[in-house]
Each structure stands twice: as C-alpha cells, then as structure tokens.
C-alpha cells in the first residue's frame, strides 16, 4: 500500500476539487452531514481506495462546507465521497454512507458500465462500481489566440445537433464516429451549409443506463441517448471522448471542438438541464445530490419531505432558487464560459428556474435575473424553453429582459397552417413578423424569438410530412410516450412511399416549411439532418434510440441533394436580404413617417389580390411585401396553404422596377431556388400557386 498523502485543513472555497500548488483542495457543501470521508483512487477498478481522508468537524468544516488540502496529488486522480448523516426521508434526509458519491462540482466523471447505475440503487456498498470524480487541471490549454466569434444576432442561424448522433452512422466517414473529435471533422459541412451557431444537445455527464425499457422489436435493452438526465453539471460526457485518459485530464476533447468551431466562426451553445438530475424519484439511484444534501438540492411535495415534486416529468425537480443551488448553477455557467469558452446556453424546461421552494411560480424569480445580470455571462446567448412538465407555460413572458425564447407557437402554428387547418392566416402573419403579439409588449426584439419547425423532441421534418401519428413502439412503452399533437400529414400513405406523386408532395412541403422558417423575422433554428430529410421512422421521442433511428445518415446528401441545396441557398438568401432579419419589429406601410429610421423596411399585407388581405377563418392564404429599404430590395412573399391551386395577382412594382422569381417550392431543383443575382424576371401580372406552395419575388 503506498504511503498516505499528507493533508491539511484546506479552504472552503472554491467548491470542488481544485488543483493548487503542491496538491488539490477539496470542498463539498453539506449542512446536515454528521461526517464526511474523501476516498482517493489511482484506478477506476480499485475495490479498496488508495487513501481515505476523514474530515474532522473541528478542522475541516466551515459553515456547511467540508474541506481538505491533499498534498502531492494532481490531475488524473479519481475521488469520491462518503457522506454520513440520518436516513430520515420524513425529514427530507436520505444519507447513506454505503454509497460513494460524485462531487457536484467534479470537472470530470468516469464510470464503467451498467453496473454503475445498478449498484447505485438500494442501500448496498457500491465503491467498486460507482461513478467517480476525475481531478482535472483546467490550466494551460492552448486556445491558439482564437477569440469568440462575433456573430451579428440578426444574422444568426442555429443548428440543433447531437454530438454522437451527428457522426455515429457508418456513412459519416470520420475517424472517431460519435465523439467530439468526430464532430470536428464535420465542421466544413457546417460552414458550407451556412449556419452560424451550433446548439449541442446535453454534453454534461449523464447516466446512459437509467432506462428500464427494452426495444420491442429486437429485445435489446435501451440506453439513454439524448442525455437529458445529468449527473455532473461541470463534467463533459465521458462517452463523447476517444479512449484516452489524457484527453479527459485536461479536457482537450471538448475544448478542441469549441476551438475549431470558433476557428470556423461558428458559435457553440449548450443545451443545459438544470431542472432535474438522473437520480430520479424516491426509488432512484443515489449518485450524488440525494446522498449529499437531499433537502437542499431537490424540491419536495409541500408538507411531504419524503416525496419529490416532479415538475420535470422524470421523478425529481432541482430546488433552483435555493441559494446553494443558485450558486452551483451560476458557478457552472461561468465555468463553461470562462474555462470552456462556450458562447451561450439553451435552458431545458426553463420555467422550473422560476419556481420557489414550494414549487410555486414567482413573479420575479432571482435565478433568471441573476443569470442575465452576471458580469461573466454578459456576452452569452441565453435561450429559455419557456415551459415545464408541471403545466407552467411562459412563452412570451419568461422572466428577465435579455432572454431569448424557443417559440413553440411558431412551430405549432406553422405546421397547422401549412397542413391546411383553418383560422390561422392572421396568426401566421404575426409569426412571420417575429411574433410581436407575444414579445413586443415585453420589450423584446425580434431576434429573441427563436423560430423552429422541428427540434430533437418530436418528428423530424421528413416524418412530419410522412406520418399522421407517432410510431414509438421501439421505445418499449407501448406507444404511451411522446406527444400526440404533431400536427402532421402523411400525404396519403403512412410512412415511406415509392409513389412519385406522394413523394413529390412531401418534398415540396419540406421545402415550403423550410422556406417559411427562413423567411420569418426572428432567429431560425434548424434540426440537424432535416436538410437531408433524415427519418426516425415515425418515432417522435427517440430519447432512447442510440442506433440508426437517431443517427444522421449521410447518404441523404445523395438521395436528397435538392433539399440540401435548397436549405443552403435559403440561408444564403436570408443573409443577402437584411429586410428578412430586422432588429426591430416591422411597421405597416401606413405607419407615421418618423416611426422608424429612414429607409427601414415596412410590411404591406395582401391576399390573392394586392392590398386585400384575407384574415377570415377560412383563409389559407398569406401574402405580403417587404418594402424597398436603404440596404435591400423589395421582397414579395406569397403562400398558398390550400389543397387546390390559387391565382395570385402581384402588386405593381415601383416605376422602373420588375419582379424576379427567387423561390418557388413547387418547381423542381434547380428552379425551386435561383442563384442570387440571377433570378429570372416575371413579366406576368399574376401567377398560379399550386397547393402548399411558397413563392418569393425580389424587385429589381
């Protein structure tokens, strides 16, 4: 047995394991613990720790913080805690000194396999298989002088993607599929597509083995794929690293990815989950928070400390507005910005951040305001998914001023309108202007409205036009999971079809939906693979499908080259026309002359005839002109969302100008979207739009 390392009392801050001169300082918060042991390991598979450090309440505790300085150790050492205290669920305490616990501030976490999850259940000792913290030295990484990208918020185009799913498919052709390194190899594709910002599904360490279901088709035990069950908020997921410890000890894998995306002038946004953890409900595993200070980290049912509140839908809810939890969240965000250089965050089920310690919504919750006011976070993009599983829906009114929001109403209204539902023409007019009905009264700008048609949760764009209902049987829940409200249309056949007419309608609808998304004021967000018509076979909740259901099939570049081209050209068209992405809400053509800067874009509404908009419940038409401005041409947009062709009379162009057809989603490639500057002149006073068609004209 090696000689024990010398220890001294250490400091109670900063929290976590911090590499300092001559060793590592450890600090852990637990106000109710009666004793704490720090266990050190040289290798994961050790059944007996290299050293156990007993923390003394007299010398190693300050307030609720337990701390010690261990001399002579450094990066690469593994560690965990045993925390002693009462097992008293009726009082909110769930201490179990048999469990080896992960430091909530661990910068790295290692685990073996399903045994880490299995042995965290129950009350038995689990030191041999428990997840363990990995001491990380964050100093000394070479950023090669690269600064963060300076993306104009009005030019931002977000691309939501999964690190593993983007390159795991054999067709990706990368050297290390499914890893941070694999994604680096695909950066040129993102540059060519034209996106400015990638939004990564959770990269925090999560429990891959927390799913009890079996694929009903294969009998295979399912795994957590999405990663929305975090264990370590400070630790990049071990599964996204290539098999070398050196990459984890200094976090090069993730930081290499950020650095290379920044080299390509692409921002990095993390999808963060601060609403719950992987410890689940009362019978869930004990990994960390439950065994360290359960009553602080989690919300309980009012008057029932032994029962978790479940506003997240997965068994527990973080007590986000408790001072200790608020500190952890803020420390975490600062860490990912200052040390890992990320550019922003999308907050999953963000409405939970506004609940108090009784679970009630607060009028002015401290946490969202503290996040947006924090000096270290001033240059970051903050996006709220402004709802939660407890029924709180705050789209248009999320607390704070600087927050952007996922606009779920844009998604639902656009899907329904283009499907042919009634009563949506006026609503879609507002959506195309950046939803001023939702945001303008709250002082928000259009770019704070994040528009999307699809995201990880729900149908892909291909499946939206190929299935009328979800097909989630492979998830092992007898189809009970996933939304029943996709507002989809299979266009005559459920699932894949070799009928050219059906396939043609679907392809056109895909382009029409993408065109509407990229023509709308606000910030567009694309789902990775939609530009290749990626399918999940009708599964609208593929959280547990770590297989070809969820992986991007790069053969789609060949099969659906026209859609890929259309998306690339639509992004370029949007970038070339400032009138499509204004920083302030557009006024009507008849607004007072001094209501906005000279030469600013105005909007004028039409119907099938100029200046005669049809807002009736039976209308399936949307047409409008964006006026010529100091930096852009006039643009005319016409949409026929009806099932029959409709003739549209074009508004008369200005004297000396003519309309040129830029986009027509009913036409085959390459005429569905023309080259910038080479759009053919349209000489007729009207045009007939086939069903479900979007047409865009530019005036020259």
Instruction: Determine if the pTM surpasses 0.85.
Output: yes
pLDDT in tens, 101-132: 999 999 999 988 888 899 899 899 999 999 99
How far is it, in rounded angstroms, from Cα 295 to Cα 627?
Answer: 58
How far is it, in rounded angstroms, from Cα 579 to Cα 590?
Answer: 17
Instruction: Tell me which residue of 258, 227, 113, 234 sits closest to 162, measured CA to CA.
Output: 227
**Does residue 413 fall inside a structural domain?**
yes
- Residue 595's pLDDT band, with cuts at 50, 70 and 90, is confident
Tokens at residue 219, please? 């009998």
Please identify, among 80, 107, 134, the residue that sits at the C-terminal boundary of a domain.
Answer: 134
- Range with the lowest mean pLDDT among 135-139, 333-337, 622-626? 135-139
Under a CB-based contact definition with an 8 Å cutoff, are residues 481 and 472 in contact?
yes
Q: Is 555 among the catalytic positions?
A: no
How far is it, in rounded angstroms, from Cα 383 to Cα 396?
Answer: 12
- Residue 594's pLDDT band, with cuts at 50, 70 and 90, is confident
How far is it, in rounded angstroms, from Cα 38 to Cα 27?
Answer: 10
- Residue 654's pLDDT band, with cuts at 50, 70 and 90, is very high
- In the set 385, 405, 445, 672, the catalytic residue is 385
Q: Tell me the C-alpha to C-alpha distance, in Å, between residue 247 and each of 316, 500, 556.
A: 33, 49, 32
- What is the number of domains present in the chain? 3
Residue 269: cis peptide before it, omega within 30 degrees of 0? no
Instruction: Tell me which residue of 14, 9, 39, 8 sits closest to 28, measured CA to CA.
Output: 14
Q: Secondary structure of the chain: what % helix, strand, coil (to 5)?
A: 25, 20, 50
**Does residue 293 fall inside a structural domain?**
no
pLDDT in tens, 227-236: 999 999 999 9
**Does residue 442 fall inside a structural domain?**
yes
Same domain membership, residue 397 and residue 482: yes
- Total residues found in the chain within this entry: 700
**Is the model's pLDDT at 220 over the cut of 90?**
no
Under a CB-based contact definition with an 8 Å cutoff, are residues 75 and 277 in contact?
no
Whole-number pLDDT of residue 244: 73
Q: Which residue has the tokens 């770590």?
A: 546
How far is it, in rounded angstroms, from Cα 520 to Cα 430?
Answer: 10
Same domain membership, residue 595 and residue 573: no
- Residue 1's pLDDT band, with cuts at 50, 70 and 90, is low
How far is it, in rounded angstroms, from Cα 264 to Cα 276?
Answer: 34
How far is it, in rounded angstroms, from Cα 644 to Cα 134?
Answer: 62
- In the set 348, 633, 664, 674, the catalytic residue is 348
- Give percent of the chain above pLDDT 70: 100
**Is the model's pLDDT at 575 over the cut of 90?**
yes
- Range with the lowest mean pLDDT among 160-174, 245-259, 272-286, 403-417? 245-259
DSSP-assigned states of every residue in 345-390? EEETTGGGGGB-TTSPBPSS-HHHHHHHH-GGGTTSEEEE--B-TT
**Does residue 623 fall inside a structural domain?**
yes
Under a CB-based contact definition with an 8 Å cutoff, are residues 570 and 577 in contact?
no
φ, ψ (nearest 5 deg) of residue 123: -115, 0
Whole-number pLDDT of residue 216: 78
First to last CA, the chain: 82
Spell out the residues 6+ positions from residue 79 whose beta carbon is closer than 8 angstroms to its own.
17, 26, 38, 39, 40, 41, 103, 132, 133, 135
- Which structural domain range is residue 353 located in? 153-272+322-578
**Is the model's pLDDT at 212 over the cut of 90?**
no
Q: Tell me the C-alpha to C-alpha distance, in Å, between residue 275 and each of 95, 328, 488.
A: 22, 13, 30
**Does residue 671 fall inside a structural domain?**
yes
Same domain membership, residue 510 and residue 611: no
**Is the model's pLDDT at 140 over the cut of 90?**
no
Same domain membership, residue 556 and residue 595: no
Under a CB-based contact definition with an 8 Å cutoff, are residues 274 and 320 in contact?
yes
Same domain membership, residue 629 and residue 688: yes
Neighbours of 494 (CB within 10 A): 13
**Is the model's pLDDT at 94 over the cut of 90?**
yes
Q: Write the Ramachandran bin of 556: left for phi over 0, alpha for psi from -120 to 50, otherwise beta.
A: alpha
How far is it, in rounded angstroms, from Cα 677 to Cα 694?
Answer: 19
**Is the model's pLDDT at 639 over the cut of 70?**
yes
Which CATH number belongs to the domain containing residue 21 in this structure?
Answer: 2.60.40.10
Mean pLDDT of 400-423: 97
Instruction: Tell me which residue of 124, 102, 129 sits closest to 114, measured CA to CA.
Output: 129
Same domain membership, residue 200 and residue 88: no
Whole-number pLDDT of residue 667: 98
**Does residue 300 fall inside a structural domain?**
no
Q: Is 686 among the catalytic positions?
A: no
- Residue 374's pLDDT band, with cuts at 50, 70 and 90, is very high
pLDDT in tens, 299-314: 999 999 999 999 999 9
**Does residue 631 fall inside a structural domain?**
yes
Same domain membership, residue 550 and residue 502: yes
**Is the model's pLDDT at 88 over the cut of 70?**
yes
- Residue 598's pLDDT band, with cuts at 50, 70 and 90, is confident
Q: Are strands 523-527 and 381-384 parallel, antiparallel or unpaired?
A: unpaired
Please identify, among 134, 169, 185, the residue that sits at the C-terminal boundary of a domain.
Answer: 134
Q: What distance lies between CA 296 and its chain's CA centroid?
A: 27
pLDDT in tens, 264-287: 999 999 999 999 999 999 999 999
Same domain membership, residue 174 and residue 78: no
Q: Which three-class secondary structure string do you get for 469-532?
A: CCCCHHHCCCCCCCCCCCCCCCCCCCCCCCCHHHHHHHHHHHHHHHHHHHHCCCEEEEECCHHH
**Does residue 119 fall inside a structural domain?**
yes
Which CATH number belongs to the domain containing residue 646 in this structure?
Answer: 2.60.40.1180
Which CATH number belongs to the domain containing residue 388 in this structure?
Answer: 3.20.20.80
Mean pLDDT of 355-381: 96
Same domain membership, residue 499 and residue 418: yes
Under a CB-based contact definition with an 8 Å cutoff, are residues 15 and 332 in contact?
no
Mean pLDDT of the chain: 96
Q: Does residue 214 or residue 262 have the better pLDDT?
A: 262
Q: Tell me the C-alpha to C-alpha distance, in Å, between residue 273 and each of 104, 234, 349, 351.
A: 14, 12, 8, 12
Same domain membership, residue 168 and residue 96: no
**Is the model's pLDDT at 679 over the cut of 70?**
yes
Whole-number pLDDT of residue 599: 86
Please identify, among 77, 106, 134, the residue that sits at the C-terminal boundary of a domain.
Answer: 134
φ, ψ (nearest 5 deg) of residue 311: -85, -5
Same domain membership, residue 169 and residue 97: no
Same domain membership, residue 545 and residue 461: yes
């Amino acid at each position: 047995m090696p000689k024990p390392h010398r220890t001294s009392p250490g400091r109670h801050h900063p929290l976590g394991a911090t590499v300092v001169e001559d060793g590592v300082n450890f600090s852990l918060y637990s106000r109710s613990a009666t004793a704490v042991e720090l266990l050190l390991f040289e290798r994961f598979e050790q059944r007996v720790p290299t050293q156990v450090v007993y923390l003394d309440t007299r010398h190693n505790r300050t307030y609720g913080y337990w701390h010690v300085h261990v001399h002579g150790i450094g990066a690469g050492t593994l560690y965990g805690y045993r925390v002693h205290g009462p097992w008293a669920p009726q009082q909110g305490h769930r201490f179990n000194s048999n469990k080896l616990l992960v430091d909530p501030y661990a910068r790295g976490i290692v685990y073996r396999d399903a045994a880490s999850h299995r042995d965290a259940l129950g009350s038995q000792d689990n030191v041999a298989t428990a997840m363990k913290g990995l001491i990380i030295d964050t100093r000394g990484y070479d950023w090669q002088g690269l600064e963060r990208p300076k993306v104009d918020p009005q030019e931002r185009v977000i691309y939501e993607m999964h690190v593993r799913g983007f390159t795991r498919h054999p067709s990706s052709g990368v050297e290390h599929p499914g890893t941070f390194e694999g994604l680096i190899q695909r950066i040129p594709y993102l540059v060519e597509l034209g996106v400015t910002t990638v939004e990564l599904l959770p990269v925090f360490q999560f429990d891959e083995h927390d799913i009890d279901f079996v694929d009903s088709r294969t009998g295979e035990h399912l795994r957590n794929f999405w990663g929305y069950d975090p264990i370590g908020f400070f630790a990049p997921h071990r599964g996204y690293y290539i098999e070398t410890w050196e990459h984890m000890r200094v976090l090069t894998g993730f930081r290499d990815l950020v650095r290379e995306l920044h080299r390509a002038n692409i921002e990095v946004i993390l999808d963060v989950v601060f609403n719950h953890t992987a410890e689940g409900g009362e019978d869930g595993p004990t990994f960390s928070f439950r065994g360290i200070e359960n009553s602080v980290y989690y919300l309980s049912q009012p008057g029932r400390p032994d029962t978790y509140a479940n506003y997240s839908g997965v068994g527990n809810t973080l007590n986000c507005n408790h001072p200790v939890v608020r500190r952890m969240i803020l420390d975490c965000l600062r860490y990912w910005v200052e040390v890992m250089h990320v550019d922003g965050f999308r907050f999953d089920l963000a409405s939970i951040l506004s609940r108090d310690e009784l679970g009630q919504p607060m009028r002015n919750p401290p946490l969202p305001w503290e996040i947006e006011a924090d000096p270290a976070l001033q240059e970051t993009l903050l996006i709220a998914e402004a709802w939660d599983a407890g029924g709180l829906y705050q789209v248009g009114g999320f607390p704070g001023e600087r927050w952007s929001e996922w606009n779920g109403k844009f998604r639902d209204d656009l899907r329904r309108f283009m499907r042919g539902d009634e009563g949506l023409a006026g609503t879609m007019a507002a959506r195309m202007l950046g939803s001023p009905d939702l945001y303008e009264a709250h002082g928000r700008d259009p770019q704070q409205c994040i528009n999307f048609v699809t995201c990880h949760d729900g149908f892909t764009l291909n499946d939206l036009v190929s299935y009328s209902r979800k097909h989630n049987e492979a998830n092992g829940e007898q189809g009970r999971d996933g939304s029943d409200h996709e507002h989809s249309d299979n266009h005559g056949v459920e699932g894949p079809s070799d009928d050219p007419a059906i396939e043609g309608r679907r392809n056109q609808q895909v382009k029409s939906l993408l065109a509407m998304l990229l023509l709308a004021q606000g910030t567009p967000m694309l789902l990775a693979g939609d530009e290749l018509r990626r399918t999940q076979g009708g599964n609208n909740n593929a959280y547990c499908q770590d297989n070809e259901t969820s992986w991007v099939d790069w053969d789609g570049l060949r099969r659906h080259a026209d859609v890929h081209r259309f998306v690339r050209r639509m992004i370029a068209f949007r970038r070339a026309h400032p009138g499509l992405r204004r920083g302030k809400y557009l006024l009507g053509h008849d607004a007072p002359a001094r209501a906005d800067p000279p030469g600013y874009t105005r909007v004028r509404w039409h119907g099938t005839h100029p200046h005669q908009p049809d807002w009736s419940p039976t209308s399936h038409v949307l047409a409008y002109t964006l006026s010529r401005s100091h930096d852009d041409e006039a643009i005319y947009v016409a949409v026929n969302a009806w099932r029959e062709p409709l003739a549209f009379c074009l508004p008369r162009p200005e004297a000396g100008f003519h309309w040129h057809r830029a986009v027509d989603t009913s036409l085959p490639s390459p005429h569905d979207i023309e080259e910038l500057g080479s759009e053919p002149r349209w000489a007729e006073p009207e045009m007939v739009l086939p069903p479900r068609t979007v047409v865009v004209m530019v005036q020259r």
